[in-house]
Every structure is written in structure tokens, then in C-alpha cells.
Structure 1
Amino acid sequence: MTDGGNVTVPVWTLATGDVRVPTLTQGESMTAERLAELRGALAALADEPIVTLEVHPLPDRLDRGRGIPLDAMSPLAQHLSQFITRASRSSLTTAKATASGENLYRIVVPAKVATQFGKGLVRPMVPKGSTGGFFGTLVHPNGKFAAQATFVPVGGAAAAGTAGGAGATAGAVAAGGTALTVAAPLVLMAVAAGVSAHADRKRQQAIEHITELLEQLQQDKLDDEHSALNGCRAAVDKATALLLDEGKLGVSLGLDSAVHTLDTALSKAETRLARWQGALDALPEGEPVELAALTESFPGIDEDGGKFRVHLELASLAIALKRRVVVLQAVEHAQGEPGNPFENFVRALRRDQESLDALESGAAGVRVRLSSLELARPSGRRPVFTTNEVDRLLRAAHRLHRLRDAAVIDSRATDVAIEMARAEDGSVTVFPAVAA
């Protein structure tokens, strides 16, 4: 894939259940904008969730370390391989595009379906100190698009994937309109892996921030909270690997104790959030606030490594870990009822995401309210203040305003993209889901 080159991209419309849609134009090329319009229209018209699957050349430089690796025998890799085999038999375009065995597969979930996962589950992620990053693997590190792509719709019936539960036979829906591939397990596994990788990336970012803050602030209790939360990672990682291999969760994994630790941390976060909101409500509306009064309710808010900021990051870490656990529980629930796994997955995920969305939104609201406060000059009889006092007030005002930078306040629904790099041996690396 080279800058400025033209690439033909086969694209399929995948359904997660029996669905009828109006007749679609197949075999005619279209732009990315036209494809996005088509995807939105299908999502609005169809009774079942519909996604699109694209196959792109594998970029020359690809950081696989930020994704979840799955071997060739994993259910997701097998579903994808079966899909490719059937699609290549009936489409010369597909056969040419996938001949090398190494490709980047991109599933795009329409905004209408993505919102069912939970409002805070997938948002754009900007990497720290970098211009390249998590804008999708179809973009080079320098920020430029890797290629000019022409999308070619491929017939669904000829490229039928797996239908129903794991290991079910291929099938497509042709009655009453365009034939769409039924590939619920493929979509379920891809979405679950992508969302899990996204949540783990947010965990990594929170860990980095907490580590930086704790280096400046020596607090044994905060260190203990951090260690307890970070200690949950091993159990969550094992459970993720097991469920993506369609195994059963057992007590030996330690997930139960990890969930208890997470629930305790979230309870602390909720208590602190309520305290912060109460303190903000008690401030005189529209009047400047003295820094001394503010630090009573928000200790260390005027410092880079203050206690309040650590509490904010601990809440972010707990939310990120819990979101990943919720995905695991939703996958387990869906696999237990294979009749319509994706629908069961979405239902379970949406139910459990609501409280996490509320907590994350509340923390963002505290950041925004604090960032908009005006600091008052210290009260006292002295008409003149020292240079140090003035500098401290200016630094505190600057740090208050910067709190808004980390607040996630844009909750507009967007399409969600899950990208999967497939190697020649059939193994797959699933990258963090991103807003498309």
C-alpha cells in the first residue's frame, strides 16, 4: 500500500440475522463516502444489525503489539478463513485481493448499532505526544492516508459466511431483496476482540498517568489502590483469551476476585464523585473561588501530582478494566445462546454499560466545571502579594483550565471500525476498536 496509489477494496455487507433489505448495486465501484451513506441507510432500514467488511492490503509498518493476537485455530480466525475461502471461489476481485494471505480486514459497525454497546465504550483516542496513532491502521504514522481506495461491493450469497452459532454451516438470506451474508459469529468475535483491545488501551493510558502522578506524590494508600487494580489484569487477560477461544470461565482463573476488586474501586470512585459534585454545588455561583477553599475539597488540585488527580485516574483505570470484564460477560452470555449471539451480546453489553457511562460522564462533568472556575485573589490585609504567591495562583489557574482537556464530553454517535491483520498462516491480530 503506497501513498497516492489506487487500491481496489472488496466490501461485503454482513448481517447478524435473517434480514431483508432493498436491492443494492453490486459490482460497481463506489467511494468511501458513498459506502458510508450506504451503511447508514442499511442500518436504518434493516431489522437486524448490519455491518460492512473490507479487505485492504497489509500496511508495510504495523504495530501488532497494540492488538490482541489470536492463533489460526481460534474461532475468529477460523470464521474469517472460511469466509475468505468461500468469497474467493465466487469472486475474481476477492481472489486477487486475498491471494497473498496477508491482508487487513476492516469491519465497520454503523453508529446506530454501535450506540447499543454503550455511549462511552468507543471514542476517538489521541495518542500522547504523537501525531500518528490510533486513527486506524489505514493511516501511516505521518498521518497521511495510505492509499486511494475504490470500494467494490461483492455479492452476499456467493460469499456466504458462517451462520448461527459456532461451527454452523454457511448461509445467506435472499428472500425479498439483496442477498446478505449471515455471519453473526464472525461479527460477534471481531467486535468483542476490538472492544476489549480498546478498553485495554485505555487501561494502559490510565496506568501511565497514575505512574507519573505517584512518582510525584508518595501516598501508600493510593499505591495500594493502584496495585490492587493493576493486579486484576492477569485474570482479565486469561479470561479474554479463553472466551475468544470459546472456552468456559472457571473459578481457577481468578476472575471472581478481580471483579470484586473492580467493584470495590468503582464504589470508591462513585463516593468520591458524589463528594466532588456536592463540593461544586456548594460554591457560590458565578463568583471567584479562593484557592485555599478549593484545595480543601480537591486536595492537590493545584499540583501536577495532586491526590485529587490520582483519584481521577484511578477511577479511569477501574472503568477501563470493568468495561473489559463486561465485554467478557456479554460474550459468555451470547455464546450460551447461539441462536442469535450478536443480539444477545449487544443486549448484555448495553445493560451493564449504563452505570459505567454515568460514572465516566460524571467525572468528565467535574473536570469541566472545575476548569471553568475563576480563582479569587487570596483574602488578607496585605495590599501586595509576593512573587511566589502570584506564580502559584497563575499556575493553579492554568492547571484548572487544563482539566477540561482530558474530559470526554463528545458523546455523538459514530461508526465504529475494528481492524484485523491476518497473517499468511491464518493467525489474526485484532486492533483496538476506533471511531471510524
Structure 2
Amino acid sequence: MSDDRKTTVPVWTLATAAVRTPGLPAGEAMTAERLGELRGVLAVLADEPIVTLEAHPPPERVDRSRGIALDVASPLAQHLSEFVSQSARSSLTVARATASGEGLYRMVVPAKVAAGFGQGCIRSMAAQGGGVHSALVDSTGRIAAHARFLPVGGAAAAGTVGGVGAAAAGGAALAVAAPLVLMAVAVGVSAHADQKRQRAIEHITELLEQLHEGKLDDEHSELDGCRDAIDKATAILLDQGSIGFSLGLDSAVHAINTALGRADRRLARWQSALDGLPEGEAVELATLTKSFPGVDDHGGTFRAHLELASLAVALKRRVVVLQAVEHAQGNPDNPFESFTRALKRDQQRLDELESGIAGVLVRLSGLELARPNGFRPVFTTAEVDRLMNAAHRLHKLGAGVSLDSRARDVTIDIARHKDGSVVVFPAVPA
């Protein structure tokens, strides 16, 4: 996907409200590094968060199954098409870059906006061979390694905060595109949550096949049964309009909330068990497995409980996004701020649950296992192997766990087809 030739990539600065910004170098090409610096300046100096949107040539190979597909009649596809067509009328660079109708649109949302999504909502997911999952980048981490970025002015001569327009701000035209940003963020976050759901389902299925635990299997089935209602609600809301009661979303939300209640109670028991351990002393494996059954095994009940909690959180995050979008669409004068307020309130419980579980895993990974008490001075090879394997698995629990709650810029990739339909890929840290 990289090219030895320098590709000119249009980049827009989008606002979700009419705001004043510092002067932008319109018409002056810049490198990826300078674009990154510009984002930093805008984040500090702009009255409101400024989103950037880049239009890249379509990549040769894209795993579209990882994203959420939206029809040409969907609000996001329509807003994007309108924005691009209006920009093409006033910019030859945009007209050339978008002439084929196909393209890859990369939206970078600043950290202060991403903070409203919840600290646990957008996190990197480890990929095979290192790095993070991203369907649309090459080995260097860029879409077009040799691209030049050309800032483009506002997309229209006039407009409202609720539509696509231009605001005279700091001597530069700034596109006001709240609905476009809202829908891109909503679908990108929803796709990210669904990716986490798929990963949790795979892990749970494998664990339950080993455990043969009926009650946990029932919990899994109840949560997995919520997917159909959530998928239908997502398609209707992001493609058409309002959600009706006939979809069964209410019963799905009840099942998810019940699962979150179980996760909260389990977390409280885990924290209490860790608090009860003697500080600074080694712990016997038998003592640990009473509160964390199976923690020394590849599978185990404790790990199944962790994955069930992860599945419940992922499903709830998708529901929260749907509720936030519905709330924002009910306030057309200020959709994006309404969206982020609703999302931030509802994400707090999920963030606290995920942070609590991460804290438990980190504490467990730092424990030292003691030799079993007994009258025998010598232990069998099997006992020694079990103790060493248990210590290794225990220490691995903390691998990849992040307790860093700082918000980061978020990237959302949107692949646009010739017919105007789009595929939105999971939001990832920029």
C-alpha cells in the first residue's frame, strides 16, 4: 500500500461546532510529521476539538469483514458523499483524489474528544507477530508512506452546526460537520466493541469446552443470544432511523446488565481475597486456587469468568453507543456534544469494572508462590513442574494489561465504494 511516488492526499479540518481556530496553512503541502504537529497545535489552541479527515487512494487488500458495512442510503454514507462532492467543486486536488468514487477516508479524533468514549473503549489489540490490529495500514504503520498532505478549505460556503458547512475561523475556512463526525465515531466505536466481543466469544468457547461447566455455559448462551438484537438495532439506527421495541433490545440489555452484575460481584470477591493475603509474603498455590479456581491452568473457571466479563462489557459498549446516537439525533442543534455527554456518563461503570479487573490481574501477576507445606523434604518432579508452570501462568496474567487511563487520539478508517456505500473499521489508538 506504500508507493515510491509522492501521492497528494487532501486533508480537511472538521469541527463539530462553529469555533475559532489558529490560522491553517491552506494550500501548502505538508509531511505526515507536520500534519501531526498541526493536530497538536489545534488540540491546544482551538476553542473546540478539531477532527482531521484524510482522503487516500483505496488500498489493494482490505479485510472488509472486520468492519461494519453501511448502505449508500445510511446517514454516514450520505454525509460523506455530500462532503466530498462539495469539496471537489472548489478544489482540484480533491476532485482528482476522489474522481474514481472509491477511497479510504481516515478520520483522526483528538484525545479530548476520545476521552468521552471511556478509557477502556479504545485500546490496542495485540496482533500476531507484534504490533496492533489495523486493517488498512502497511508494515510501516502508514496508508501511503510517501504521501504529501494538502490542507483543504471548508466544504461549503454556508451551513449550520448540524450540517456540513464552513465557518470563518482565524482566517481559514473550517468545515462544520457534526453529523459526519458523530456517525463516523459511533460506527468506529461500535466496530471496535464488536471486535472485542468476537475475541471474547472465541476464548469462552475454548474454555467451556474444557471445563464442561453447565452454569457458565448458560451465562455464555444468554450473552451470545443478545447479539442478534444488538446487530439489528445497530443496522436500523445507523442505516435508517429509530429503534422499535419489537427488536428485543430491552431483553438483551437486561441479560447484559445481569452479566455485568455478576462480574461486579466476582470482582469484589477477587479484590477481597487479594486484600486478605499477607503482604510481602509468598502464597501457597492451594490458598490461591480457593479464590481463583483454575488460575494455575491453561483454562479454568477464573479465566472463564474473566472472558464472560469481557464479553458483557463489549456488548454493553455497543448498546451504550446506540443509546448515545439515538439521544444525539434527538438534539439536532448540537448532536456531537449531546452524543459525547451521553456516552461519557454511561461508560463510567464499564471503565471502573475494566480497571478493577486489570488491577486484579496485575496484583495476581506480582504474587510469589510458596512451596507447599508438608512433612516430605523432597517433592516429586510433577509437583515441581506444576508449581513452576503455575508461577509462569500467574506472571503472564499481567502481560498486556494497561492501567493507563490517559486519553489518546483515535483513528477511524472508512472505505468508500463507487456506489457510495461505506465500510467503517474498528477505531484504534492513533
- TM-score normalised by length of structure 1: 0.95
Query: What is the alpha-carbon distance in structure 2 between the residues aligned to residue 196 and residue 224 of structure 1?
Result: 25
Q: Which residue number in structure 1 is paired with residue 145 of structure 2? A: 147
CA offset at residue 367 of structure 1? 0.5
Map 1:10-409 → 2, pairs under 5 A: 10-127=10-127, 129-131=128-130, 134-139=133-138, 146-156=144-154, 158-159=155-156, 163-165=160-162, 168=163, 170-409=164-403
Query: What is the alpha-carbon distance in structure 2 between the residues aligned to residue 335 and residue 405 of structure 1?
Result: 40
Root-mean-square deviation (CA), in Å?
Answer: 1.7
Per-residue deviation, residues 360-396 of structure 1 (Å, max 9, x unmatched):
0000010000011000000011000011100110110
* Residue identity in the other structure for 1:34: R
**Alpha carbons of 1:270 and 1:162: their partners in 2 closer, same or farther (altered >3 Å)?**
farther
Per-residue deviation, residues 136-156 of structure 1 (Å, max 9, x unmatched):
51325x977653121110112
**Alpha carbons of 1:161 and 1:385: their partners in 2 closer, same or farther (altered >3 Å)?**
farther
Alignment check: 8 A CA contact 2:74 2:238 kept: yes
**Alpha carbons of 1:339 and 1:283: their partners in 2 closer, same or farther (altered >3 Å)?**
same
CA offset at residue 280 of structure 1? 0.2
**Alpha carbons of 1:284 and 1:400: their partners in 2 closer, same or farther (altered >3 Å)?**
same
**Alpha carbons of 1:5 and 1:224: their partners in 2 closer, same or farther (altered >3 Å)?**
farther
* Residue identity in the other structure for 2:57: P
Query: What is the alpha-carbon distance in structure 2 between the residues aligned to residue 67 and residue 249 of structure 1?
Result: 22
**Alpha carbons of 1:261 and 1:162: their partners in 2 closer, same or farther (altered >3 Å)?**
farther
Alignment check: 8 A CA contact 1:20 1:178 kept: no
CA offset at residue 119 of structure 1? 1.1
- TM-score normalised by length of structure 2: 0.96
Query: What is the alpha-carbon distance in structure 2 between the residues aligned to residue 287 and residue 389 of structure 1?
Result: 21
Q: Which residue number in structure 2 is paired with residue 7 of structure 1? A: 7
* Residue identity in the other structure for 2:209: E
CA offset at residue 329 of structure 1? 0.5
Query: What is the alpha-carbon distance in structure 2 between the residues aligned to residue 34 and residue 433 of structure 1?
Result: 23
**Alpha carbons of 1:161 and 1:422: their partners in 2 closer, same or farther (altered >3 Å)?**
farther
Secondary structure of the 1:148 match is coil
Secondary structure of the 2:414 match is strand
Query: What is the alpha-carbon distance in structure 2 between the residues aligned to residue 144 and residue 17 of structure 1?
Result: 29
Query: What is the alpha-carbon distance in structure 2 between the residues aligned to residue 94 and residue 15 of structure 1?
Result: 19
Per-residue deviation, residues 16-39 of structure 1 (Å, max 9, x unmatched):
011011211111111112212211
CA offset at residue 130 of structure 1? 4.7
**Ranges in structure 2 where 5+ consecutive residues have no aligned partner:** none
Count matched residues: 430
Alignment check: 8 A CA contact 1:4 1:146 kept: no
Query: What is the alpha-carbon distance in structure 2 between the residues aligned to residue 164 and residue 19 of structure 1?
Result: 10
Secondary structure of the 2:62 match is coil
CA offset at residue 43 of structure 1? 2.2
**Alpha carbons of 1:63 and 1:435: their partners in 2 closer, same or farther (altered >3 Å)?**
same
Q: Which residue number in structure 2 is paired with residue 435 of structure 1? A: 429
